A and B are shown apart, each in its own frame.
Chain A
Amino acid sequence: MAQVSSKGVIKEGSIAQFMRKRTQLVGFSIERHKHTQYVAEFLDNALDAIETAQWKYKVFKNLPPESPEIEYTFKPWNINGKLKASKISARVKEILEPIKPIINKEPIVLIILQRVEKPEILPDDIHGSDIEMYSFEAFDNGVGMRPVDLEKYGVYLASSKAEKLRQTRGSQGFGAPSAFSDAQNTTGKPITVVSKHVKERRGELSVFYTTGENKKKYTIQPTGVIVPFKHGTYVHLFYLNIKYVRGYADEYVRQTALLNSHVTIIFVDPNGEVTIYPRRVSEFPKEPIYTEPHPESTNIGDFQELIRNSRGATVFKFLTTSFCRIGATRAKKIIEKANEELRTKITPNSHVKKLSDEQINALYRAFISMKYPSPPVDTVVPVGREVLKEVIKKNLNAEFVEAVTRPPTSSKGLAFVVEAAIAYDPNNPTLNDFGNSVLNRFTNRTPKLRDNSDCAIWKAAASVNWKNYKIDKADNGLPRGPIKLFVNVSGPFVHVMFKAQSKQALAADDTLVKEIKLALEELGRKLKAYITKGEIETRKRQRAKTLLEHAMVFAKSLVAIEQTDPKLKVKPTYEEVYRSIEEMINEPERKAPERKKKARRSKTKTETRTRVKPGVKTRTLHEFEHTHEAIPAEELTEIAKI
């Protein structure tokens, strides 16, 4: 944004100013997906906050295997007049009242969407009669924010997660600030935040606008308050959008709940409908371990940036501490290699900030030319095969559920892990109700509902030869039938590999696609075995049915004949005969009569006859069996010798 000023013609525009007008870049525009985007942003942040609270401070101790039964009645908020601190506090208390007994014991996220009366005058660029105004409230009892962090909350690119490459959901600090921008741009109303950090004694409440200068303008200054929870964050804002329609935001919550069943999620939609996704597992996912960037994932820009941000380090220290997989030997090698091109040599002790451009470039070229082992993979935390399987089974109630977690791997220096699950049930029509597509994609456990066919996950799934596994293939390459697929890609890799800023689709990296394919193929094999077994079971049942039919005829005729048999004192009854045969049919693992084997047996005995005493005429056991003669003694011993 250029502005005329006395100091010159061009003034640096701020990101804030830029983004305020372009919130559609991160998914905020007037269309049905906006509801989902709000829910997604704050739900993701809430989950991150809860996990951090547990990892760092172990706030939820001794969790029972599942959450207790929860009932939640929603109370609409009649917001009249100006927002006052007391009103806000009262509201927070009100919405948390139904879950008061467990508010500090169970990890909970609460999201409330409510339709409210829209203002008379709408902003210029918003038209239409089907625009509504919504009140959005999100609460989590996660780690909360300290006052100093609260100050920065809502500021563009301010994020607790930006620099360190960890597996987290939100990453770059665009989400919340963009949401705030959209909210205040469309409605002119400020944002409310109430938060209490786990280590603070009190919570803090503030109501504000974010400004073009990337700062905040408070309508209620940050105030200490007593809150009905030990730790957590509450956010409230308004936004405009077209009418809320089911199938998007609620679907997002549902799918998120599926892969994050260590948290209870309560969702209230604008129709007042309350959906509770109770916690189903007591184990939290492991905390991902922070790691330095891997050389393969560092480009020249990153490299220069890291140098700029380093604090008075030597080249040696810079190399060994800013990156993973660079130890003393390797660092030295890099420096040596760089020096091959340079007239003014670099030493390990040179100050990295004092390097000339030429030196930096040479250093980078040497740096990038080395071969490094893969990045450590304990930076990724998958959901886990067992958890995934259990949760999907509980939620979908399908007769066949299988999950697979691939070993962690990396590409371009970034670690990731692929997990996949499959649910199959030809007898369950409700299986198709889950999700809008056969394939459900997740990255770092957050569902991706848009840009389906753009995503690497989709492409990988479409390239699997499903027919090999006895599954029909639809035109788009995905399986067709009573099947649901779930693919989750976790790891720091994810953040860098999104195709667009909306973070809905992953770029098609070769290693990624291969890993997904392998995971899906493994599931395909398991499903095939299951289907085949099912076919076997069906055949078994068919067999029994057919045999019983024939047995009926058999028994009837046999009994009829024997009614007049003078040699039978007790005449058989139909029931007796039929039951006996029925028992025999249903006996498990009955061996088929061995007919052919007999012939072979006698053959081998004949072949080994050469060891028999000459002159003794021996006969095969086969012959004896048929004639029921007693085997003469001498022959018996000879046969025993064979």
Chain B
Amino acid sequence: MKVSKAAAKIEAKIPVDLGKVRELRAKMRERRGSNFKPPKGAVIVEEMPTEIVHKKIHETARQLLEQIRKGVPPVISIPQRGGGNIIYDEENDLLLLGEGKSSRALLSLATSLDVARTMRVLEIVHTLVEKDIHATKREIFYNDVNLFKNQVYSDKIIDDIPPLLNTTRDSTHIVASAKGMAIGRLTIRDSGDAIDLTKLGSGGWSITPFLDKVEIVESDAEFILVVEKDAALIRLSEAKWWNKYPCVIITGKGSADIATRSFLRKLVKKLKIPAFALMDSDPYGMYIYSVYLRGSKRLSYESPFLATPELKLLGVLSRDLDKYKIPKECWLKMTDKDIKRAKEMLKEPFVQRKKEWAEDLKLMITLKRKAEIQALSSHGFEYLTETYLPEKLTTGDWI
């Protein structure tokens, strides 16, 4: 991707070295041949435009209608969402559903209620898609409280619809509320409105839950910065840091919700630029990083669409505490819960795969100390924006 004029201008001003970042970017854009063979019968799961989803719903309904007209008891076959039936091709970033299906028969006492509920949810989704509107899971529950009885049940069925249509949940127009925010060098179209994220004052753009309504138009950012808390964002926002360092800054304002994660992933996929995470130096911060990285454990079907495996952990690392001489007073004592969480994370395979990260976690456990991003302020309020971040980016000090 060509470097825009704006970026060239900025570069000249600051003696900042984005060399390592650019190296990383080049690596990301390498086309690697993959020797991944999708198994027979596997279907690619992808986002779909509304009209296609509409068609697929009709297709499913028509099949059931044909069954009934032939006198065959109707059976809904839903691809299994777990175990070996989800295949993720990391190289090509493809999510595949295998042939494994679980059948639910209308005329079997064990599953008839599920089938009825599934059909009802399908009808609701059909309505959403037809009218091109969105609804939250809770609204869907309220649509037929007598049938669903508890939101737990309607949620369960809602999770079944995307695999049934071989698509993502966003494509089904079912959304969750979003609290994330983005700001920086990016122009998008949101529900038809053109938005320049550099011209939104200091507040930034609230990430919309209607992700299918968001179109990424253009950006000259060289990287993306994901910040855990918006407290750190205040600093960056005030300094209009993205003018110095061409980037887009995203925050989930705490735990990463689906919209934020999805948006991050979209940005990375579309712009093909590196992404860096700036979290607190504590197990919870590490956990949030891991969620952006690979998705939470629960949504295993959705995770690939919400995961950004390219996300690098920039800080605050445990080894930074010493390196950047954070005074010991600012180091907080870890609670038992913290230590437990840290130890559990060490057991995870995706942590073990990143040796440096594992070592950093071990160091954290040994130190029994944690520190927030704000601890960097001990060296001055502008330490984060002027020193810490630039140095880390220049030296390529990320995991």
Cβ–Cβ < 8 Å partners of A550 in chain B: 106, 112-113, 115-116
State the Cβ distance, B60 to closest chain A Cβ, in Å: 9
A553 touching B107, Cβ below 8 Å: no
Stretch at the interface among A301-309, A343-351, A580-588: A580-588
A547 touching B126, Cβ below 8 Å: no
Complex CA distance for A554 and B69, rounded to whole angstroms: 14
Q: Does A451 contact B (CB under 8 A)?
A: no
Complex CA distance for A307 and B91, rounded to whole angstroms: 115
Q: Does B334 contact A (CB under 8 A)?
A: no
A547 touching B62, Cβ below 8 Å: no
- Neighbour of A565 across the interface among B62, B71, B116, B120, CB < 8 A: B62
Complex CA distance for A134 and B71, rounded to whole angstroms: 76
Cβ–Cβ < 8 Å partners of A554 in chain B: 74, 106, 115-116, 119
Nearest residue, chain B, Cβ from A572: B65
Q: Does B105 contact A (CB under 8 A)?
A: yes
Within 8 A of A (CB), among B122-155: 122-123, 126, 130, 147
Cβ–Cβ < 8 Å partners of A558 in chain B: 61, 64-65, 119, 123
Complex CA distance for A585 and B73, rounded to whole angstroms: 9
Known A549-B116, A557-B122; 13 more pairs at CB < 8 Å: A551-B116, A553-B147, A554-B119, A557-B120, A558-B64, A558-B65, A560-B123, A561-B57, A564-B58, A590-B107, A593-B108, A595-B103, A626-B41
Nearest residue, chain B, Cβ from A562: B61
B41 touching A561, Cβ below 8 Å: no
The interface size of chain A toward B, counting residues with CB under 8 Å, comes to: 32
Q: Does A543 contact B (CB under 8 A)?
A: yes
Cβ–Cβ < 8 Å partners of B106 in chain A: 547, 550-551, 554, 581
Q: Does B323 contact A (CB under 8 A)?
A: no
Chain B interface size, as a band, is: 20 to 34
**Chain B contacts to A: CB under 8 angstroms:** 40-41, 57-58, 61-62, 64-65, 68-69, 71, 73-75, 99, 103, 105-109, 112-113, 115-117, 119-120, 122-123, 126, 130, 147
Task: Answer whether A580 and B69 are a contact pair too, CB < 8 Å, given A554-B116, A558-B61, A567-B58.
Answer: yes
Complex CA distance for A565 and B126, rounded to whole angstroms: 11
State the Cβ distance, A532 to closest chain B Cβ, in Å: 19
Task: Answer whether A577 and B68 are a contact pair too, CB < 8 Å, given A553-B116, A554-B74.
Answer: yes
State the Cβ distance, A237 to closest chain B Cβ, in Å: 70
Q: Does A6 contact B (CB under 8 A)?
A: no
Cβ–Cβ < 8 Å partners of B115 in chain A: 550, 554
B126 touching A561, Cβ below 8 Å: yes
**Sample (18) of A-B pairs whose CB atoms are under 8 Å apart:** A551-B116, A553-B117, A553-B120, A554-B115, A554-B119, A557-B116, A557-B123, A558-B61, A558-B65, A561-B57, A562-B58, A562-B61, A564-B130, A565-B58, A577-B68, A581-B106, A583-B71, A627-B41
Complex CA distance for A239 and B206, rounded to whole angstroms: 108
Greatest chain B CB density within 10 A among A554, A584, A585 is at A554
- Neighbour of B68 across the interface among A549, A565, A580, A592, CB < 8 A: A580
State the Cβ distance, B79 to closest chain A Cβ, in Å: 13
Complex CA distance for A562 and B58, rounded to whole angstroms: 7
Complex CA distance for A592 and B105, rounded to whole angstroms: 9
A557 touching B119, Cβ below 8 Å: yes
Nearest residue, chain A, Cβ from B64: A558
Complex CA distance for A280 and B75, rounded to whole angstroms: 56
Cβ–Cβ < 8 Å partners of A583 in chain B: 71
Cβ–Cβ < 8 Å partners of B40 in chain A: 627
Greatest chain B CB density within 10 A among A543, A551, A566, A590 is at A551
Cβ–Cβ < 8 Å partners of B65 in chain A: 558, 562, 568, 572, 577
Complex CA distance for A549 and B68, rounded to whole angstroms: 17
Complex CA distance for A238 and B89, rounded to whole angstroms: 108
B58 touching A584, Cβ below 8 Å: no
A561 touching B123, Cβ below 8 Å: yes
Q: Does A86 contact B (CB under 8 A)?
A: no
Complex CA distance for A567 and B74, rounded to whole angstroms: 20
Q: Does A546 contact B (CB under 8 A)?
A: yes
A592 touching B108, Cβ below 8 Å: yes
- Neighbour of B107 across the interface among A549, A565, A572, A584, CB < 8 A: A584
State the Cβ distance, B42 to closest chain A Cβ, in Å: 12
Cβ–Cβ < 8 Å partners of B108 in chain A: 592-593
A593 touching B99, Cβ below 8 Å: no
Complex CA distance for A545 and B61, rounded to whole angstroms: 24
Within 8 A of B (CB), among A581-608: 581, 583-585, 590, 592-593, 595
Complex CA distance for A572 and B74, rounded to whole angstroms: 15
Complex CA distance for A583 and B123, rounded to whole angstroms: 24
B105 touching A547, Cβ below 8 Å: no
Complex CA distance for A556 and B126, rounded to whole angstroms: 13
B112 touching A547, Cβ below 8 Å: yes
Cβ–Cβ < 8 Å partners of A590 in chain B: 73, 107
Complex CA distance for A547 and B107, rounded to whole angstroms: 6
Cβ–Cβ < 8 Å partners of B119 in chain A: 553-554, 557-558
Cβ–Cβ < 8 Å partners of A546 in chain B: 109, 112-113
State the Cβ distance, B11 to closest chain A Cβ, in Å: 54
Nearest residue, chain A, Cβ from B146: A553
Complex CA distance for A564 and B73, rounded to whole angstroms: 24
A580 touching B120, Cβ below 8 Å: no
Task: Answer whether A568 and B74 are a contact pair too, CB < 8 Å, given A554-B119, A593-B105, A627-B41.
Answer: no
State the Cβ distance, B51 to closest chain A Cβ, in Å: 11
Nearest residue, chain A, Cβ from B105: A593
Complex CA distance for A565 and B61, rounded to whole angstroms: 9
Cβ–Cβ < 8 Å partners of A566 in chain B: 58
Nearest residue, chain B, Cβ from A542: B109
State the Cβ distance, A592 to closest chain B Cβ, in Å: 7
Task: Answer whether A567 and B41 are a contact pair too, CB < 8 Å, given A561-B126, A584-B107.
Answer: no
Complex CA distance for A562 and B57, rounded to whole angstroms: 9
Complex CA distance for A583 and B126, rounded to whole angstroms: 28
Complex CA distance for A543 and B61, rounded to whole angstroms: 25
Task: Answer whether A568 and B73 are a contact pair too, CB < 8 Å, given A553-B120, A557-B122, A627-B41.
Answer: no
Nearest residue, chain A, Cβ from B125: A561
Nearest residue, chain B, Cβ from A595: B103
Task: Answer whether A581 and B74 are a contact pair too, CB < 8 Å, given A550-B113, A558-B119, A561-B126.
Answer: yes
A585 touching B58, Cβ below 8 Å: no
Greatest chain A CB density within 10 A among B99, B123, B130 is at B123
State the Cβ distance, A12 to closest chain B Cβ, in Å: 84
Cβ–Cβ < 8 Å partners of A585 in chain B: 107
Cβ–Cβ < 8 Å partners of B61 in chain A: 558, 561-562, 565
State the Cβ distance, A590 to closest chain B Cβ, in Å: 7
Complex CA distance for A568 and B107, rounded to whole angstroms: 25
Complex CA distance for A547 and B57, rounded to whole angstroms: 24
B116 touching A562, Cβ below 8 Å: no
